[in-house]
Amino acid sequence: MRERSGDGMRLFVCGIIAAAAAMLCFGSCLSFAREAENIQTGTDAEEEMSVFSAESRVEDVARALLFAPYGRLLFPVQSGYMDGDTLGSLRLAWYSHISPARTVAVVNRLAADAAAGHRIFYPIYTEEEMRRDPAKRDTGLFFFRGRTGAPVAVVSAGGGFAYVGAMQDSFPHALVLSERGVNAFALIYRPRAQTACEDLSRAVAFLHEHAAELGVDMRGYSLWGGSAGARMAAWVGSHGTEAFGQRSYPRPAAVIMLYTDLSEVYGTEPPTYSCVGTADGIASWQTMQRRTQAIRRNGQAAEIEVFEGLPHGFGLGEGTAAEGWLNRAADFWIAQR
């Protein structure tokens, strides 16, 4: 069942990208303003130029020099929420419809960008802040580049505020958005509700402060999230970065929310697109529908798509009734800018 019809544009599934003959490694990459990009060549680099596959071991990907020193953040750093030794067998708690092909495509895209000399990861806290609070070392932004000067989407995965399920709930979305030309950033955050919103707010501040260096346009940016990540997007979108320890920055042009049982409406919501499945045992589609209606009554743009029979955590929804939702959500956002 749908409250909104769309053009059903199918997602373009990227092919596996062969890495180039050089690689990026970081020396001290904790200060954005000071860091220089260095290209490393030689036997070690050549060995890692091979394309990752479904048979690639998660451990090997996390330790690959191409991703050093942040490869560990590609996967949950909290224990007990991930199963599977390879990219093809990867499973994450509370998520369904995980696509091995999409997981491999994400890793190969980041590898190719790194090999081409592009930074793929940005810490959002300074070295001094991370020294005082070591948990902040487990935060940052993975950058999926779109067109230079294009607008920004910040995507936060869910994980029940217990871990960050980026390989299903933010990396694939950021990859597809970048293929549309959007500059997409996937946030790795500290998984508690308060600290998660603090990290998202800090990410928004970081992107505003470094937009020129990054080659992005923060005007009319959007916040995206699934499950717990959707709550983060909604809370920061409604209350502003100033509510979570940062100075006040412009609110997002749109919030994109997937499968979260958030009912509160404050009257300060940005334009909001939501989607959810009727078989979701965690997030009630009726609750999301009522919230959408309440936002509309307040005079704000809001749309929802409800997909028959889909469970929680369907991600991009490729091969399901939800396929194409991301393009419709992106169209909704662009219409609000």
pLDDT at 39: 33
**Does residue 3 form part of some domain?**
no
* Strand partners of residue 254: 222
> What range does the domain containing 142 cover?
116-336
Name the helix (H) or strand (E) containing 224: strand 217-226
d(CA 152, CA 254): 11
d(CA 314, CA 311): 7
pLDDT at 108: 97
pLDDT at 263: 97
- Could you tell me which of 15, 84, 88 has the C-alpha nearest to residue 56? 88
Let me know: does 272 contact 304? Beta carbons within 8 Å. Answer: no
pLDDT at 200: 98
pLDDT at 50: 52
Whole-angstrom CA distances from 194 to 94, 226, 236, 244, 292 are 21, 17, 11, 8, 24
**Does residue 52 form part of some domain?**
no
- Rg of the chain, C-alpha, whole Å: 19
d(CA 119, CA 36): 10
pLDDT at 34: 37
**Does residue 28 form part of some domain?**
no
* Strand partners of residue 57: 86
Q: Which residues of the chain have pLDDT under 70?
A: 1-50
Q: Which CATH number does the domain housing residue 221 bear?
A: 3.40.50.1820
**Does residue 176 form part of some domain?**
yes
CB-neighbour burial class of residue 53 (10 A; exposed 0-12, middle 13-18, buried 19+) = middle
**Does residue 188 form part of some domain?**
yes
**Does residue 156 form part of some domain?**
yes
**Does residue 220 form part of some domain?**
yes
Domain total of the chain: 1
Let me know: does 313 contact 260? Beta carbons within 8 Å. Answer: no
d(CA 252, CA 274): 15
Let me know: does 102 contact 52? Beta carbons within 8 Å. Answer: no
**Does residue 307 form part of some domain?**
yes
pLDDT at 166: 98
**pTM for this model (two decimals):** 0.86
